[in-house]
């Protein structure tokens, strides 16, 4: 009976796919959305607030360096308000920076060598890093004015919940005796639901978010919890199944562990789900956004930084 059911299902699927008609998507981009990627951080080693503004492009369009350069939104008025103070961010582009400044931008944005990407990335940056910005428990309103449009968003920086400690274990596979798995320990507060995001930095590499970089405390609310930490990597890099997620003996590893609010969590959760979904039977999930008048994310981080050195 089970074999018969499986045969019938295969036949139904074959008929469905056999009856499909060709679909040619409309790739016009007459009214592109403004795409916002902006962050503000609290913590001892916090990075300055910044906002990246681009125009949306159709999924099936062709992209090259020149096309991407044309997507950046210039001359916008970008301000952040914390309820008391308002600051305006300044637009800076890679081509306007010195080589040393370009390398700092590389670490901030998490890409490879700044002179190898072929794209003049432009961001709106808080260059003086005003001390009143980036505080736990505060709410920050973002406003963007461009092309007679007003785009707004709000985010909150939750209280920081740092990791208790980091450790590592050798892999049981003798064929990979140069690799280790990093493990984290955390005491999750029971008073409220917590949402987290993490990044890892290996030696002098840029800091990369994990491919599944967000987690909530639904399974460990209010508990002391131990879990493996998967090494982050650039999303454009191919995955090596033999080394994915692990670190090497001799590595110096920095972990950025951050609390985020629920809207921020929902953005990355849905985006990373869609990035990992594949195949003809995968489902589509609309990426969550907290941007009014555009799409994307304005997110706060309550960040703590942790380091572990793996012996040779």
Residue 184 is predicted with a pLDDT of 95
pLDDT in tens, 117-154: 578 889 999 877 555 678 999 999 999 999 999 999 99
User: What confidence score (pLDDT) does residue 5 get?
Assistant: 44
Query: What is the set of domains in the chain, with CATH numbers?
Result: 34-156 (no CATH), 165-286+301-309 (2.60.40)
From residue 39, alpha-carbon distances to 18, 77, 124, 148, 222 in Å are 47, 16, 11, 23, 27
d(CA 109, CA 104): 9
Mark the ranges of the chain whose per-residue pLDDT is less than 50.
1-21, 23-24, 113-116, 279-281
Q: What is d(CA 109, CA 101) in angstroms, rounded to the nearest whole number? A: 12
Give the C-alpha distances (Å, rounded to integers) separating 32 from 74, 228, 248: 15, 40, 44
Answer whether 61's CB lies under 8 Å from 122's CB: no
Question: What is the reported pLDDT for 129?
Answer: 58
Q: Please tell me the predicted confidence (pLDDT) of residue 9.
A: 43
Contact partners, residue 37, CB within 8 Å, separation at least 6: 51, 52, 296, 297
According to the model, what pLDDT value does residue 33 have?
93
155 sits in which H/E element: strand 149-156
- Three-state DSSP class for residue 41: strand
Does the predicted model carry a pTM greater than 0.85?
no
Distance CA 97, CA 195 (A): 35
Q: Distance between CA atoms of 312 and 309, rounded to whole angstroms?
A: 9
Give the C-alpha separation, 78 to 49, whole Å.
11
The bridge status of strand 295-309 relative to strand 252-260 is antiparallel
- Cβ neighbours of 133 (radius 10 Å): 22
pLDDT at 7 (0 to 100): 37
Gap between the Cα atoms of 293 and 120, Å rounded: 25
What is the pLDDT, as a whole number, of residue 217? 94
């Amino acid at each position: 009976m089970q074999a018969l059911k499986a045969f019938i299902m295969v036949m139904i699927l074959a008929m469905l796919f056999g009856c499909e008609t060709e679909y040619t998507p409309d790739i016009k981009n007459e009214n592109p959305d403004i795409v916002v990627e902006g962050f503000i951080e609290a913590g001892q080693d916090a990075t300055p607030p910044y906002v990246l503004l681009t125009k949306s492009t159709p999924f099936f369009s062709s992209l090259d360096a020149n096309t991407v350069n044309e997507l950046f939104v210039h001359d916008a008025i970008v301000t952040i308000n914390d309820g008391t103070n308002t600051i305006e961010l300044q637009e800076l582009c890679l081509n306007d920076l010195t080589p040393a400044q370009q390398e700092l931008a590389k670490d901030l944005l998490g890409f490879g060598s700044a002179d190898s990407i072929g794209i003049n990335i432009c961001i709106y940056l808080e260059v003086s890093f005003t001390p009143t910005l980036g505080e736990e428990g505060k709410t920050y309103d973002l406003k963007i004015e461009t092309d007679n449009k007003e785009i707004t968003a709000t985010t909150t920086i939750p209280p920081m919940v740092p990791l208790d400690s980091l450790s590592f274990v050798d892999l049981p596979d003798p064929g990979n005796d140069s690799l280790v798995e990093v493990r984290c320990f955390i005491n999750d507060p029971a008073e409220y639901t917590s949402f987290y995001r993490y990044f890892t930095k290996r030696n002098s590499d840029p800091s990369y978010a994990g491919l599944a970089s967000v987690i909530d405390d639904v399974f460990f609310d209010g508990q002391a919890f131990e879990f493996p930490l998967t090494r982050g990597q650039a999303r454009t890099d191919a995955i090596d199944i033999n080394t994915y997620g692990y670190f090497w003996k001799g590595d110096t590893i920095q972990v950025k562990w951050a609390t985020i609010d629920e809207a921020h969590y929902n953005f990355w959760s849905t985006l990373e789900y869609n990035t990992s979904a594949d195949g003809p039977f995968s489902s589509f999930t609309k990426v969550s956004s907290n941007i009014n008048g555009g799409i994307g994310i304005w997110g706060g981080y309550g960040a703590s930084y942790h380091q572990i050195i793996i012996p040779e």
